[in-house]
């Protein structure tokens, strides 16, 4: 057994929402925290971990742009997606009388109204679980943090209020990356997503021509991200998610047309669509 077996890498501290996603998707695996997304991805490439749990977008904060820039630099494959509800908890040390609250700036923003209502002074920290760890180590009875319920358990904090966010329904989409793709047999009755990378030249209608095959073959493109490839200003790189299996006839025809108009076409992975998508469409 290699050192990567049953290990899943994530960015952040133990108790982060990424850690929570790891426990739900791979409960049998050992979650291993890393300081940065790059380090978490490299852990899989260097076979220090078998999987990486990486957030790519949030229903409130939008896309995690850094990830879309890092994925093309790796040789990893997407094997799964996971939608994680973000349920913020206000917590403090037992017996505390909080005057201030610390957390990641995005979490503070998502709980702004409730923070004001409780008369707390916000303090920005690098991440939610990190703020919980710092408070636990400091012993400060004047402080509170906003983090996950898992963080409260790990760092001995008492939950003052669950669902502390101002608006419910905040959700983060994660992708699970692996060095070797998992085979996903094609079943016409199952919903799949195929992720693809490609580049187009900076010429008129290049993107229109490259994507035309998906429309003519009746395929639903559910996501498209664009960014400069970092080497030249004359070409752009695109990441697309298509609601289809790589082996479907329509997908094969669309990719054939894509390769004709684009370059560096790279299949990132085919995986089952998460159940959350059905709820989101309802």
In this predicted structure, the answer to whether residue 144 has a pLDDT above a threshold of 70 is yes
> In which residue are the tokens 């093309």 written?
72
Whether 21 and 125 share a structural domain: no
Strands 121-124 and 100-103: parallel
* Rounded-to-integer distance, Cα 215 and Cα 238, Å: 17
Scored b (16 or more CB within 10 A) or e, 192-204 reads bbbbbbbbbeeee
User: Where residue 143 sits, what CATH number does that domain have?
Assistant: 3.40.190.10
Q: What pLDDT, on a 0 to 100 scale, did the predictor assign at position 65? A: 86
User: Is residue 57 in a domain?
Assistant: yes
Is 79 an active-site residue? no
Backbone angles phi, psi at 118, to 5 degrees: -90, 0
pLDDT in tens, 5-47: 799 999 999 999 999 999 999 999 999 999 999 999 999 999 9
Whether 174 and 54 share a structural domain: yes
Number of structural domains in the chain: 3
pLDDT in tens, 103-125: 999 899 999 999 999 999 999 99
User: Is residue 183 in a domain?
Assistant: no
The count of C-alpha atoms lying within 13 angstroms of the C-alpha of 164, restricted to the half-sphere facing its C-beta, is 27
Rg of the Cα atoms in the chain: 21
For range 72-98, the mean pLDDT:
97
Q: What pLDDT, on a 0 to 100 scale, did the predictor assign at position 103? A: 97
Q: What pLDDT, on a 0 to 100 scale, did the predictor assign at position 202? A: 73
Q: Which of 102, 88, 87, 89 is nearest to 134 (CA)?
A: 102
* Rounded-to-integer distance, Cα 100 and Cα 106, Å: 16
**Considering 152, 178, 204, which residue would you say is the last residue of a domain?**
178
- The catalytic residue among 10, 128, 164, 172 is 172
Strands 51-58 and 77-85: unpaired
* Rounded-to-integer distance, Cα 171 and Cα 144, Å: 23
pLDDT in tens, 76-85: 999 999 999 9
* Rounded-to-integer distance, Cα 101 and Cα 89, Å: 11
Orientation angle between helical segments 249-261 and 206-216, nearest 10 degrees: 170
Chain centroid, CA 227 distance in Å: 18
Return the C-alpha torsion angle 141, 130, 30, 59, nearest 10.
Answer: 110
Instruction: Answer yes or no: pTM beyond 0.75.
Output: yes
- The catalytic residue among 37, 164, 174, 214 is 174
User: Is residue 142 in a domain?
Assistant: yes
Q: What pLDDT, on a 0 to 100 scale, did the predictor assign at position 279? A: 67
Is 194 an active-site residue? no
Its domain, for residue 198, covers 192-281
């Amino acid at each position: 057994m290699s050192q990567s077996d049953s290990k899943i890498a994530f960015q952040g501290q133990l108790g982060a929402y990424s850690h929570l996603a790891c426990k739900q998707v791979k409960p049998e695996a050992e979650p291993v925290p890393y300081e940065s997304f790059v380090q978490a991805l490299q852990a899989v490439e260097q076979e220090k971990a078998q999987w990486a749990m990486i957030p790519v977008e949030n229903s409130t904060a939008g896309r995690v742009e850094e990830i879309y820039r890092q994925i093309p630099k790796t040789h990893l494959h997407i094997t799964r997606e996971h939608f994680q509800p973000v349920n913020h908890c206000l917590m403090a040390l037992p017996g505390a009388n909080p005057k201030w609250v610390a957390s990641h700036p995005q979490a503070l923003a998502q709980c702004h109204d409730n923070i004001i209502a409780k008369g707390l002074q916000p303090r920005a920290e690098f991440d939610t679980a990190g703020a919980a760890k710092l408070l636990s180590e400091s012993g400060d009875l004047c402080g509170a943090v906003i983090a996950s319920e898992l963080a409260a358990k790990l760092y001995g904090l008492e939950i003052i209020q669950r669902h502390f966010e101002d608006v419910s329904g905040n959700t983060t989409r994660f992708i699970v990356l692996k060095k070797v793709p998992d085979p996903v047999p094609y079943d016409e009755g199952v919903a799949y997503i195929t992720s693809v990378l490609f580049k187009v030249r900076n010429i008129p209608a290049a993107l229109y021509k490259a994507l035309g095959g998906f429309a003519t073959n009746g395929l639903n493109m559910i996501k498209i991200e664009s960014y400069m490839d970092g080497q030249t200003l004359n070409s752009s790189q695109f990441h697309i998610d298509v609601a289809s299996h790589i082996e479907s006839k329509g997908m094969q025809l669309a990719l054939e047309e894509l390769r004709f108009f684009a370059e560096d076409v790279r299949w990132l992975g085919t995986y089952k669509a998460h159940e959350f998508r059905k709820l989101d469409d309802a």
